[in-house]
Structure 1
Amino acid sequence: MNDPGRAMLLSVHPRFATAILAGSKTVEVRRQRVAAPPGTPVLLYATAPTMALVGMARIASIHVGSPREVWWEHRARTGISRREYDAYMVGATRASGLTLEDPVPFDEPVPLSALRSAGTFHPPQSYRYLRSADLRQVSEAGPAVGSALRKVLPDAVHA
């Protein structure tokens, strides 16, 4: 599904958000198949205690396979130990390794309270896709987000 006005909202622990935005973690792993075309913008939502949109990146590629295959291919770039990975993947038959590029930290994170004051906003447990209306709402909540989104999705975000 290739929608030029679509972005992914990805929930990550604060330490992983920091590592992604610093460029030291370039692969995010998920327990299910993720289907998004290369170039898809990814908004990074740092979970508790941060609870804010902290930056964005782009999907360079997605590798779907067994948890073992995904670990073998991407282990050095996941920012986690084998023990953490195995604990996360217990019971999973498929895994996705999302290679992220072009990380951009927001000068000012957009807290959950600001996101909710702009309209109904629910951070996902793992990830979800945002379409034009969602992206406009998110961009209204924080000027840094709106500015960054206009650069990558000019037709989806009208300011």
Structure 2
Amino acid sequence: MNDPERTMLLSVHPRFATAILAGTKTVEVRRQRVAAPPGTPVLLYATAPTMAIVGLARIASVRVASPREVWTASRTKAGISRREYDEYMSGAIQASGLSLEAPVAFDAPVPLASLRAAGPFHPPQSYRYLTKDSLRKVLVAAPDGGAALRDSLSELARA
């Protein structure tokens, strides 16, 4: 499924966004079940202090299992220490490991202020899927008129 209408908006700390876009972090972990098919485009929203959509990647696969099993499968790819992982997963019954591929960093990030100027916009606590209207607002808010973002989504759809 490479439908841009099923684009995921994923909130990550800036250091994780940087690592994902550099290709050194290829698995993003979440405390809840994530059901996204391979090929799903993922817009990366870097949280404070960056507060901008900084790039995108594509989901290669999702592993849903116990936190221990997800750690065992992704520890060298998750970009965090075991201590950080255990603190984050404390109390979780299941976890998801999102394997990401084809990262693309935007030359001009899409700042939160621009996103909000295009209409109501609230970054997700964890992730959410963008509606067609929300994705259009992101394209409008992009500094270059959305050309780089549109090109990236088109490239992912062709892959």
Of 128-137 and 76-85, deviating more is: 128-137
CA root-mean-square deviation: 1.5
1:139 maps to 139
1:144, CA displacement in angstroms? 5.1
2:19 maps to 19
1:114 aligns with 2:114: yes
1:43 maps to 43
Any stretches of 5+ residues in structure 1 without a counterpart? 155-159
1:150, CA displacement in angstroms? 2.7
Any stretches of 5+ residues in structure 2 without a counterpart? 155-159
Between the aligned partners of 2:132 and 2:9, the Cα distance in structure 1 is 13
For residues 33-52 of structure 1, give each alpha carbon's deviation from its aligned partner in whole angstroms, at most 9, with x where no partner exists.
Answer: 00011000000000001001
Write out the 4+ residue segments of structure 1 that deviate beyond 4 Å after TM superposition.
Answer: none
Call closer, same or farther: CA 1:136–1:65 in 2, change over 3 Å.
Answer: same
1:6, CA displacement in angstroms? 1.2
Between the aligned partners of 1:152 and 1:145, the Cα distance in structure 2 is 13
8 Å Cα contact 1:59/1:101 also seen in 2: yes
1:147, CA displacement in angstroms? 2.6
Percent identity for Structure 1 against Structure 2: 72
Equivalenced residues, count: 153
Q: TM-score, normalised by structure 2?
A: 0.91
1:143, CA displacement in angstroms? 4.5
